[in-house]
A and B are shown apart, each in its own frame.
Chain A
Amino acid sequence: MGADPSAASAATTSGAADTDDAAEAPIHILWINAGLSCDGDSVSLTAATQPSIEEIALRALPGLPKIAVHWPLIDFECGPVQGADNFVEWFFKADRGELEPFVLVVEGSIPNESIKPEGYWCGFGDNPATGQPMTTSEWIDRLAPKALAVVAIGTCATYGGIHAMEGNPTGAMGVPDYLGWEWKSKAGIPIVCVPGCPIQPDNFAETLTYLLYQAAGSAPMIPLDDKLRPTWLFGATVHEGCDRAGYYEQGQFATTYDSPKCLVKLGCWGPVVKCNVPKRGWMDGIGGCPNVGGICIACTMPGFPDKFMPFMDEPPGGKVSSTASGVYGAAVRRLRSITAKTVDKEPKWRHTGRELTTGYSRPW
């Protein structure tokens, strides 16, 4: 990918767009992966196919603006701080107002750097003034006011996530906790949160694509809910898209983890979790969570992980409804089995022999 937009322009071969292309200033994407993170969201994005990262970078979708991505995971540039092609220099350029416009992507939760006498919980590059690592919080302080938009990728950056667990030493929090939930960019865009641990690949690729269309003037303000999530991705619950919900309705609950039935009594929080994975699959429709035997541990939620642990215990709220569906479901199941037997048989007019019994009256 790299900072070099020539890769992107090399992809356009002919047509009027080409002429515009040369003059068009790219939108820079500055990616800080040095929150308290595992880089899982960066890695996950490389799995996206709808669209893929190369399709975004090479503008395989019509109307996408030119971009220059500064993404540690796969960036071409990696020169020394004191020599040629120094990667982190792009971030200093943005700070000096020399990159316009840019989108800031933050991966990982933001530790509280004020709770200790010295040192740093996390840094990204060095601060030239001190020779010490430049903290991720300081980068956000410097860059967020200048950004076209700030995007938090993954449940850590959005809401704190696993590293903000009870008993953590760093005081970790999400970007909205750090900047303020009402924060808006200079372009009037709220913090865009794409939760998930990690993000479902296409969910993020799609959000990024949306923002690029918005930046190009071809899409309205990105629709977000009160937790700053894209509404079209996080509007429904896991359970609403889970193909095991039929078992739930019929009161059939798994008692072992390898059962194909509904997992709510074994720890699945799907009925109250906003996430589209069972409906969408993990990648290209393959994989998932409860739909393939993995309890939903609610990794997209602000309350994750503390409000869902121990993960393998039955959610307390699930007991009442699953008991109810146990009674109702048994009756439904009996009736369905009668109907199922009926529909499992072919109609009686499908047979061999000289007689036609379909009800058709022969003209001869």
Chain B
Amino acid sequence: MAPATKAGDGSGLMEMSWDPITRIVGSLGIHTKIDFKQKRVAECYSTSSVFRGYSVFMRGKDPRDAHFITSRICGICGDNHATCSVYAQNMAYGVKPPHLGEWIINLGESAEYMFDHNIFQENLVGVDYCEKMVRETNPGVLELAERTEAPHAGDHGYRTIADIMRSLNPLEGEFYREALQVSRYTREMFCLMEGRHVHPSTLYAGGVGTVASVQLFTDYLSRLMRYVEFMKRVVPLHDDLFDFFYEALPGYEEVGRRRILLGCWGALNDPDACDFTYRNMTDWGRKMFVTPGVIVDGKLVTNDLTRINLGIRILLGSSYYQDWEGQEQFVTHDPLGNPVDPRHPWNQHTIPQPQKRDFDDKYSWVMSPRWFDGTDHLALDTGGGPIARLWSTALSGLVDCGYVKATGHSVVINLPRSLTKPETTFEWKIPKWSNALERNRARTYFQAYSAAVALHFAEKALEEVRAGRTQTWEKFEVPDESIGCGFTEAVRGVLSHHMVIRDGKIANYHPYPPTPWNASVRDSYGTPGPYEDAVQNTPIFEENSPENFKGIDIMRAVRSFDPCLPCGVHMYVGGGKTLEKLHVPTGLSGMAG
């Protein structure tokens, strides 16, 4: 973790804030103190300014409503919540959906990855690397890009790196506009399986309401192969673009870099293995098509979902909540008899305490989830999701379905022949760093990964339909007393739902999406959250003076995590003035009209 430097001690630090940050989901503010002499960010606070209180208003409701309600947590990955909730309900009700129902969910969720990573990468993050932005922040780099031939021009059709950048210019850029269209037909694929986007209509505990026919899968597969063809251009295009930044700006690997502390909760169940029982969770967790894992300094600590579950802790420290210490504990032991910590989501009480924002004390509605490895409360991040998923899957070496194979040190993705392009293989190799550029690169590779596993799911689903096994939903009863947990990978990373049922109603429900991990704040031990930590390490390469400063390197660092804050965050630099005292920056004073 970077040591935080205090401003106001004559160090010449300047406060700068970005609030709200655009081109992310939700309202995030980032407040920083920047050392322009050293060209480094000295201090960073992320803050979220929206509270809604799902865990509060879900209490006492019918458990079968949970996936409809929790989907509304997020407007870009709500279906991940619905899916995760359905998983938790399946466990609590003791129901196992028909295989076909599970393949349909996998196809829907794969389409969600394909859609979401695509629109975020090209239409939100891509703008940080477009010609217009690079011209305004690093004209020297753009000049070099004009002179640099793209190594894979033959694959994607853009002769120079600057041509790629131009194609990413908002609205005018050809690739920018194409990506918007791709985000539409991938959502059509999603709607075929889950009814509508982003809040699904056809998901239920016990399976799906989707009517499985040959037409359903043909409609999906036709679009999927267009996407496969698209990815054969996009992977080399982004490799060229991101590799160029390392070359053009020596030291750029430090932007957004932090210690390798990655979490992945696994995704895309194998219906042959998954029975949704807690007892067998370790086994079926390892059969997922994205392998769960906790990775510390490049080493796999565990890929056991049961251990992952028991290690989750929710800390407070800088958040607007009253602690729940001493309150009733809902779950003292898991179904295997393991003790469950009072700070585990099953036992959490959410008690909001609205108050003034104070960066020396409480400053965000986001809590501080941590993973306890037996010694330390680790501030895991997801790196936006894909980098952790690929890393974890690669290290475990368990996934092998032909289209995708994990090798122990890499993931090999095989895409079949498509309309105009031959069979193509991509290999994602474990990178040297957990930084902004590698998070972005992994996002592209994971799009290819999603398309590849979807091909497998479509084949398996069609097998079921051709064999006449078209049932997609299984009946269940809601028990009076039960508990359940769901684990999946939302687009942006780890997602868990923990539910407690009493008297047939929801007694406790706590969803933990990836952004509470990434956007978390300084915890009770003083450990900063991942954005804070990654931004505090970020050097400044921008050519602008403080007066014209955009903070593009900081924005690239933050956006590489794919923030999704239907909660919110803030960064700060103070009008070019040196701070007189350590205090909450006063925002808009001195700003040009």
Contacts and interface: CB of A to CB of B under 8 A. Distances in A.
B195 A289 contact: yes
Interface in B352-369: 352-357
Interface stretch (A117-125, A203-211, A328-336, A346-354): A117-125
Contacts of B589: 128
B517 interface: no
Nearest to A289: B201
Interface residues of A, number: 99
A134 B574 CA distance: 18
A132 B363 CA distance: 10
Interface string B109-135: 000000000010001100100001100
B352 A198 contact: no
Contacts of B210: 258, 292-293
A168 B61 CA distance: 12
A307 to B, nearest CB: 13
A75 interface: yes
A303 interface: no
A256 interface: yes
B56 A168 contact: yes
B49 A34 contact: yes
Given A82-B573, A292-B201, A124 B49 contact: yes
A40 B76 contact: yes
A32 to B, nearest CB: 9
A167 B55 CA distance: 10
Contact of A292 (B57, B211, B575): B211
A359 interface: no
Interface string A61-96: 000000000001111111111111111110011000
The majority secondary structure among interface residues of chain B is loop
A82 B574 contact: yes
Contacts, number: 335
A240 interface: no
A83 B592 CA distance: 8
B209 A293 contact: yes
Given A81-B588, A83-B549, A256-B475, A282 B191 contact: yes
The majority secondary structure among interface residues of chain A is loop
A332 to B, nearest CB: 23
Contacts of A126: 17, 19, 29, 570, 587-588
Given A38-B78, A309-B62, A77 B22 contact: yes
Interface stretch (B64-72, B457-465, B529-537): B64-72
A292 B195 contact: yes
Most interface-central of B53, B196, B219 (chain A CB within 10 A): B196
Q: Which 9 A-B pairs have the closest CB atoms?
A: A294-B201, A40-B75, A287-B191, A293-B209, A119-B354, A310-B62, A128-B588, A38-B75, A126-B587
22 contacts: A40-B198, A52-B180, A54-B177, A72-B20, A76-B170, A82-B16, A82-B591, A83-B546, A85-B550, A89-B591, A121-B51, A124-B27, A132-B357, A165-B57, A168-B53, A170-B51, A283-B187, A283-B197, A284-B184, A289-B195, A292-B211, A312-B62
